[in-house]
Amino acid sequence: MALLWTKNLEVGVDLIDNQHKKWFEKADKLFEAGKSGKSKEYIIQMFDFLDEYTKTHFKDEEKYMTSINYPELSAQKQMHEGFIKKLAELRKQYETAGANLTVVISSNQFILDWLTKHISLADKKIGEYARSKK
């Protein structure tokens, strides 16, 4: 189960798209680390990165939405907060269960599903709205 960025996930806002691509790359590395039995420390480092990068990305994305007066900003913030909470739960589950492939796979499945659905159903609307304002 590779976590690959595809062109159909492009929002049309360079900052957001570039961050989404990096997110996918790191999430894929987390999955590959778990699949190949890498050390728990490495996987924790990847969780650290994803946690920090997620917060940075959401902050940047919300700042951009504010700058264009995006009408669905509040709903986006709620979705972002839910993802951060779930990511923290997954990390705690991983730390409790240890180097467990099932936990890593379920974490990555959640991340992949959330990212692809969120980008396709919510973030693409940001790009559409921004283009309609030009």
pLDDT digits (tens, 9 = 90+) for 69-128: 999 999 999 999 999 998 888 888 888 877 666 777 777 788 888 888 999 999 999 999
pLDDT band at 61 (very low <50, low <70, confident <90, very high): very high
Residues in contact with 83: Cβ distance below 8 Å, sequence separation at least 6, in sequence order? 54, 58, 114, 118
Superfamily of domain 37-132: Hemerythrin-like (1.20.120.50)
Lowest-pLDDT range of 19-28, 41-50, 61-70, 112-121: 41-50
CA 22, CA 112: separation in Å to the nearest integer?
13
Q: Is the pLDDT of residue 53 over 70?
A: yes
pLDDT of 134 reads 74
Q: Is the pTM of this model over 0.85?
A: no
Residues in the chain: 134
